[in-house]
Amino acid sequence: MSKSQDKTSHLQTLGAGGQTTYQMDSPNPGILEAFPNNYPGRPYVVSISFPEYTSLCPMTGQPDFGTIAMEYIPDQKIVESKSFKLYMFAYRNHQSFMETLANKMLDDFVEVLDPLWCRVKGLFAPRGATDLHVFAEYYKQDSSQYEQVKGIVSEWKQEVGKHSA
């Protein structure tokens, strides 16, 4: 059996022996875990989505449903996918407007990952015959790779746009 070069000894979310600790009281960046990017000099896009997202309307308490997608170009860190899922679960009983949610998620991802670029897409299910999609975006402007990253992001958005029509 071969073993990857991924550094995983510090990760807690996967648990010992399959045990997972769920933090359902409120979403916070402490739920997200990251591991080192083995290719920090090579800008590449990571896309991770959660199609079973739910939270609560702060006015009515009714559930909102949607898909949350996070796209990012990592610098030194990559999000561990199970912690991403658990982070999304933490929103189930959280009351907030969709616009606030997408921006809070972006702030949390940037805090934990410090990526070269990150975009959170909140694709919320229609309610009252109204679709609401929220896109929040961040660029690490002080990076020496800023111009290269902008080009890659532009190409990524064009490519994704071709396949979503």
Cβ–Cβ < 8 Å for 124, 66: yes
**25 belongs to the catalytic site:** no
Residue 98 annotated as lining a ligand binding site: yes
Q: Given 64, 75, 108, 118, which residue is catalytic?
A: 64
Residue 153 annotated as lining a ligand binding site: no
Residue 45 annotated as lining a ligand binding site: no
For 133-159, give one letter per residue: b (16+ CB within 10 A) or e.
ebebebbbeebebeeebeebbeebeee
Residue 110 annotated as lining a ligand binding site: no
What is the DSSP code (8-state) at residue 143?
S
**118 belongs to the catalytic site:** no
Q: Given 6, 25, 57, 114, which residue is catalytic?
A: 57
CA–CA distance, 113 with 110 (Å, rounded to integer): 5
- Give SS3 for 37: coil
Residue that the structure tokens 């590449």 belong to: 44
Residue 81 annotated as lining a ligand binding site: yes
Q: Cα 110 vs. chain centroid, distance in angstroms?
A: 9
Residue numbering of the annotated binding site for substrate: 79-81, 98-99
Residue numbering of the annotated binding site: 79-81, 98-99
For the annotated catalytic residues, the residue numbers are 57, 64
